[in-house]
Structure 1
Amino acid sequence: MSQAIEQEVRQTSEDLARSLSWLGPLEQDEIARRFADQHLALRLRMLRSTLDRAAELRAEYSHRYDMLRRRTVALALGTVALAVAATAWIAMRG
């Protein structure tokens, strides 16, 4: 995870802990550390989940693209074959 994100999370955690004025300084530090650790772990899980989903989508769309390309090539070849056969048929009749 980037340094900027870690710094942002740590600052947010410290701000939250400092807002709990009834806690002592050591308790506030502990709250800030625990919140930051949990928040960073959550963000990491979310990032991994997003990357996993991106890989799934890439594989799915790659497969779909391959199928579409095969169909397009088959249609083009069929059209050319039909045009050649029609031209030969017309030439033989004429």
Structure 2
Amino acid sequence: MRREGEHVSHRDGAALVNSVEGYLRARAYQEDACREAEQFCARMPWLTSAQAEDVTRHYVRQRIALTRRMLQTTADRAVELRGEYEARYAALRRELLRRHAAGACAVLACATAVGSLAGALSR
């Protein structure tokens, strides 16, 4: 708990903002699902109020579960892609380092050869 006069760190503030944003998005999504369920039930005027509430509750629960699965699948794929990209980046870095080292060796060999040739010619 924060004491009076203490400041919230940038990380804590960002986490709080993300948490609030997530909550607001979830509430908006649930309200959309409820609205859709009510519109669906309105097309079935023979349902009693209790039946319409039951259908609405089931619809919202099913839609939220489906969305949760879809988001989890997306998050899992993002983790996979991150691993693939990090592995590719590491391989590219190693290759670049290898090429720079080979280039530096070639420049050093040429400089040594030129120095030796210059020394031999000056004698």
Which stretches of structure 1, 4 residues or longer, exceed 6 Å deviation after superposition?
none
Q: Per the alignment, in what secondary structure is the counterpart of residue 21 of structure 1? A: coil
The aligned amino acid for 2:39 is D
Question: Percent same amino acid among aligned pairs?
Answer: 28
Aligned length in residues: 94
1:69 to 90, 93, 96: 93
1:17 equivalenced with 2:45 (yes/no): no
The aligned amino acid for 2:72 is R
2:67 to 25, 43, 47: 43
Which stretches in structure 2 are left out of the alignment for 5+ residues?
1-21, 119-123
Deviation for aligned residue 1:8: 1.0
Looking at secondary structure, tell me which structure has more helix per residue: 1
Give the TM-score of the pair, scaled to structure 2. 0.73
The aligned amino acid for 1:49 is T
The aligned amino acid for 1:45 is R
Give the TM-score of the pair, scaled to structure 1. 0.94
1:57 equivalenced with 2:88 (yes/no): no
Deviation for aligned residue 1:87: 1.0
Which stretches in structure 1 are left out of the alignment for 5+ residues?
none
Q: What is the aligned partner in structure 2 of residue 83 from structure 1?
A: 107
